[in-house]
Chains A and B, each alone.
Chain A
């Protein structure tokens, strides 16, 4: 296995002001005993609500933060102690922490990184060519990074993280804030990377689509603890995720009407829009029953949202 963490912990001391001069010290465990093993070539989605400890875990795996407890090895190395050795073998994209030179053309950042990582010229050229084709970097490789759009910059960051041929790629929110096309470009690129199979990828995200399109395996963390480790389907079936139907009606929803296999959760727009939550019955049966009861204008079936699942999962814990 390429990543292994056992009982990984990170505590932060937080000072809170009490009165004018006194301060109260409290210890908060951002990561509270995480066990995680990742095999070479896997693509793992690491998710959880804000503040759950995702980024903190990633920072401990990459050698940025020293763990408060537990054991961790990446590529067989202890990240903090062997930080510079490990840095050559992993690639990292932290959305808010650019690896690029803000005021220089994108291409210059790439050649600087080649020297920093001591990549042989031929390898560099080959990898850059591949990324340029897959991510269409040609249009903006001579543009200063500060003038790039967020989507263009993210494509640049991905390239920067891959130019030294890392064994593991860590991505923190790679699609956050991107427009639809850029999201798609990033996802296609990552699944291409997955198909080749020689790079292990760990990514955090809030976007269910990222997970569904990319990751067979999902690790959910909440309050610093792993609460689920398995496939997306396992997660939904374990927490009985429910799909919803939103229907626009020609006539107002009759008061007190119920349908088998669904619960009415909202009636809006003067009774002309109704939201039904399915209780596991196939959507088709419910839609058929609905169409019989009221004339329909429009209808959509919505997949359960990952945030909902996590929220419910969190409630289950308490």
Chain B
């Protein structure tokens, strides 16, 4: 009789999808637009590899593994919470009130209410890309590496979800935050797609280790390939993606909770 909490959110998502489909022309345009973007993304990967062959001392298939892991994790996170930056509108209009009046998590409701069906294709494509990259890459499979291959995209997804949520939370304090959060989310996607050792100096250290972008694709890919970090990080650190993901999720959820307490509910 009692439905799982997940089932309730799934119902909200389905209602949201039904709402979107109501505006048929707009929905179809968005689907076609998204498909065209995806096609261009794939094309750009092929162009990159046909020209460069390899990057930062890694072969084409190795770079592809990093790119695929980054793309799969980002696209999945983007599908789940990519629109939570609409929190800005919810806070500005005071609409966030209605989420707080229901007996459900405000964050999960917001994610469900802003769920974009058109992004599911891209997430699926990212994961297929990842499986292909795993098959093509030169990996000596062990139990540890199989676990790593399974948990790496999950950790990466959780990491990006945390990033989206943390970025959106800023709106609780600063509604005019504009697109600043995107520098970290979409910027993070681009940063993690390439071998991190090719970036320079403090910029690399700050984003790879400080923010933790290295743990999305670069470090797990090194672990899968059995390579050491060319810049001399200890090998055991390469397996730490799930830990980093859990820390990121805790920090993001803390930020969200503090933000909700700080919510001012404008207007009448």
Contact, CB under 8 Å: B11 / A59: no
> Which range holds the interface residue count of chain B?
20 to 34
Contact with A along B21-33 (1 / 0, CB 8 A): 0110000000000
Which residues of chain A (67-95) have a CB below 8 Å from chain B? 80, 83-85, 87-88, 92, 94-95
A65-B101 contact, Cβ under 8 Å, with A55-B268, A108-B15, A172-B268:
no
Stretch at the interface among A113-121, A179-187, A213-221: A113-121
Contact, CB under 8 Å: A96 / B267: yes
A92 is contacted by which of B12, B18, B101, B261 (Cβ under 8 Å)?
A: B101
Which residues of chain A (105-164) have a CB below 8 Å from chain B? 108, 112, 115-118, 120, 144
With a cutoff of 8 Å between Cβ atoms, the chain B residues found around residue A112 in the complex are 11-12, 15
Q: Is B100 an interface residue (CB 8 A)?
A: yes
> Which range holds the interface residue count of chain A?
35 or more
Contact, CB under 8 Å: B261 / A66: yes
Give the distance in Å from the alpha carbon of A98 to the alpha carbon of B102 in the complex. 12
Q: What residue of chain B has the Cβ atom nearest to residue A172's Cβ? A: B268
Q: Is B19 an interface residue (CB 8 A)?
A: yes
Q: Is A42 an interface residue (CB 8 A)?
A: no
Q: What residue of chain B has the Cβ atom nearest to residue A120's Cβ? A: B1
Which residues of chain B (208-248) have a CB below 8 Å from chain A? none
B103 is contacted by which of A88, A102, A144 (Cβ under 8 Å)?
A: A88
Q: What residue of chain B has the Cβ atom nearest to residue A109's Cβ? A: B15
Contact, CB under 8 Å: B100 / A63: yes
Which residues of chain B (77-127) have a CB below 8 Å from chain A? 94-95, 97-98, 100-105
B265 is contacted by which of A59, A85, A87, A98 (Cβ under 8 Å)?
A: A59
B24 to chain A, nearest CB (A): 12
Q: Is A263 an interface residue (CB 8 A)?
A: no
A83 is contacted by which of B7, B22, B100 (Cβ under 8 Å)?
A: B100
Contact, CB under 8 Å: B104 / A84: yes
Contact, CB under 8 Å: A97 / B94: yes
Q: Which of B1, B95, B268 has the most CB of A within 10 A?
A: B268
Contact, CB under 8 Å: B268 / A173: yes
Give the distance in Å from the alpha carbon of A62 to the alpha carbon of B268 in the complex. 14
With a cutoff of 8 Å between Cβ atoms, the chain A residues found around residue B100 in the complex are 62-64, 83
Q: Is A99 an interface residue (CB 8 A)?
A: yes
Q: What residue of chain A has the Cβ atom nearest to residue B264's Cβ? A: A12
With a cutoff of 8 Å between Cβ atoms, the chain A residues found around residue B103 in the complex are 84-85, 87-88, 116-117
With a cutoff of 8 Å between Cβ atoms, the chain A residues found around residue B263 in the complex are 64-65
Contact, CB under 8 Å: B18 / A104: yes
Q: What residue of chain A has the Cβ atom nearest to residue B10's Cβ? A: A115
Main SS of chain A's interface residues? Answer: loop
A104 is contacted by which of B19, B102, B105 (Cβ under 8 Å)?
A: B19
With a cutoff of 8 Å between Cβ atoms, the chain A residues found around residue B104 in the complex are 84, 116
Contact, CB under 8 Å: A144 / B265: no
A99 is contacted by which of B3, B23, B98 (Cβ under 8 Å)?
A: B98
A102 is contacted by which of B1, B3, B19 (Cβ under 8 Å)?
A: B19
Contact with A along B249-268 (1 / 0, CB 8 A): 00000000000010111011
Q: What residue of chain A has the Cβ atom nearest to residue B14's Cβ? A: A112
With a cutoff of 8 Å between Cβ atoms, the chain B residues found around residue A118 in the complex are 2-3, 8
Contact, CB under 8 Å: A103 / B94: no
Contact, CB under 8 Å: B19 / A103: yes
Give the distance in Å from the alpha carbon of A80 to the alpha carbon of B258 in the complex. 12
Q: What residue of chain B has the Cβ atom nearest to residue A59's Cβ? A: B265
Contact, CB under 8 Å: B19 / A115: no
Q: What residue of chain A has the Cβ atom nearest to residue B2's Cβ? A: A118
B100 to chain A, nearest CB (A): 5
Which residues of chain A (258-298) have a CB below 8 Å from chain B? none
A133 to chain B, nearest CB (A): 26
A306 to chain B, nearest CB (A): 18
Contact, CB under 8 Å: B264 / A87: no
Contact, CB under 8 Å: B102 / A116: yes
With a cutoff of 8 Å between Cβ atoms, the chain B residues found around residue A85 in the complex are 103
**Leading 5 A-B pairs by shortest Cβ distance:** A103-B19, A87-B103, A84-B103, A97-B98, A97-B97
Please give the residue numbers on chain A whose beta carbons come within 8 Å of chain B beta carbons, in ascending order.
12, 50, 55, 59, 62-66, 80, 83-85, 87-88, 92, 94-99, 101-104, 108, 112, 115-118, 120, 144, 172-173
Q: List 9 A-B contacts (CB under 8 A).
A: A62-B100, A64-B97, A94-B98, A96-B94, A103-B19, A108-B18, A115-B8, A116-B12, A117-B102
Name 15 extra pairs, CB < 8 A, besides A64-B97, A95-B268, A112-B11: A55-B268, A59-B97, A62-B100, A84-B103, A94-B97, A96-B94, A104-B18, A104-B22, A108-B15, A115-B3, A117-B102, A117-B103, A118-B2, A118-B3, A144-B22
